Amino acid sequence: MNRLKNGLILIVLISFLAFVAIMPVSCVFYTITGIYCPACGLTRAFINILHFNLLEACYQNILSIPVFIFLIFSIFMLIKDFVQNRFSYIPSLLSFFEKYAILILALLIISFIFNNLK
C-alpha cells in the first residue's frame, strides 16, 4: 500500500512539473486581480535555473531557488520511499509545514511584496 501511495504522489508531481514546463501557464490570481501572487514567475524562474541563469531566476521569483531545491529533494525522497516500500516522507513533510507555518507564511508574504515591487 505504501508503494502505491508514493507512486501516485510521484506520478502527480512529475506530471504537474512536465505539464507546467510544456504548456503555457497563466496565473489565475493575476488574471483576476492584476496583482502578482507569491508564485508568479516560478515557471520562468525554473527554466532560468535549468539554464543556470540564477540571478534572472531570483529576479523572476525570489523564492525560486529554494522551491526548486525543495522539489528536487522531494522527488528523490519520494523515490527513496517508493523503493523501500515506506511512507515516511509525506508525514514528516506535513509535520515540518505545521511546525514552521509562520515562517513559511512570512516567506510567502515577502515573495508577494517582492513580486509586486519589481
Lowest mean pLDDT among 21-25, 60-64, 105-109: 21-25
> What is the reported pTM?
0.76
95 residue type, one letter: S
pLDDT for the residue 94: 92
Show the domain range for 34: 2-117
Could you give the number of structural domains in the chain?
1
Instruction: Determine the average pLDDT of the residues in 75-94.
Output: 89
- Output the pLDDT for position 1: 67
% pLDDT > 70, the chain: 97
The span from the first CA to the last CA of the chain, in angstroms, equals 47
The string of pLDDT tens digits covering residues 8-38 is 888 888 888 787 777 776 778 888 998 998 9
- Backbone φ/ψ region at 53: left (φ over 0), alpha (ψ -120 to 50), beta: beta
> What average pLDDT does range 57-83 have in this prediction?
91
Amino acid at 52: F
